[in-house]
Amino acid sequence: MKCIIDRRAQFSASHRYYLPELSEAENFERFGACARYLGHGHNYVLYVSMLGDLDEYGMVLNLSDVKHVIKKEVTSQLDFSFLNETWTEFQEALPTTENIARSIWHRLAPQLPIVRIRVYEHPELWADYLGTNMEAYLTISTHFSAAHRLARPDLSFEQNCEIYGKCARPNGHGHNYHLEVTIKGDIDPRTGMSADLVAFQQAVDDFVVEPFDHTFLNKDIAYFEKVVPTAENIAVHIRDLLEAPISKIGAQLYKVKLIESPNNSCEVYGSGVADPIASMMREPATVSV
């Protein structure tokens, strides 16, 4: 029986986005405050996902051994460091979140059966690397507050209550929605970026957060005048709103996850993502150490 296990680790480090072949003005135009001379720091959180068969002791790997490998190859070298000067990979390409994930993969892959590296730069920004050339996934999380009512206009109040329960009450109710947007792109071999993070954040803010925040969705968002604003329909609409802007920044919209409450969330994938549900349901492939 195959099983995926995760090991968490963390390190604190600083970095700077600055390319010596560009002028100071060009660096600040491209990277903003991240180009400042002394750099800036983060408390990074690392998740190493590994795939293997359960052994006779009920383990995929001895986690004590895994811990020592991660410490030796990664955290002992990166903790309390200036990343730009730590590994040669970060001198060839800037130590962005996605490039850090990719570099960690190549440091650990010879010793561990990795299937994913996830690096959190902070709780609202993280990157995943799955071992495919320069391809990486970058996720930002944000939120908006909105009210809605779940009711179809062609049905009676009693019929809507039968379908949607309390959510069909005439004056609606509200949520603090948590939104996660994931894009896929190739890491640039010089900037270390799979997409312009500022442009990515701006697209989500301009097309979703600002229009949706502090609204009554049924009344204030034209799309929901005829479409019931369930979490699923909201997520689909957000997907449709973001695909073109994300494409313009040179990436692909991979996934939208909308968390309506701690008990209720949904995920939808970009229209260009090939059969994601089938991929999720398949037996994981064997990964050799």
Catalytic residues: 167, 214, 260
What is the token pair recorded at 125?
């920004």
Give Cβ neighbours of residue 109 (< 8 Å, ≥ 6 apart): 131
H helix runs in the chain, sequence order? 24-31, 63-70, 76-78, 89-92, 97-108, 157-164, 197-204, 210-212, 217-220, 231-248, 276-281
Residue 167 amino acid letter: C
**What are the C-alpha distances in Å from 14 to residues 116, 150, 188?**
23, 47, 21
**What are the C-alpha distances in Å from 25 to residues 33, 93, 158, 244?**
12, 20, 64, 30
Residues linked to residue 252 through DSSP beta bridges, in sequence order:
184
> What CA–CA distance (Å, rounded) separates 274 from 164?
32
The DSSP bridge pattern shows strands 135-148 and 215-216 to be parallel
> What CA–CA distance (Å, rounded) separates 70 from 132?
21
In a 10 Å sphere around its CB, with 0-12 CB exposed, 13-18 middle and 19+ buried, how is residue 178 labelled? middle
Comparing CA positions, the residue from 64, 49, 69 lying closest to residue 2 is: 49
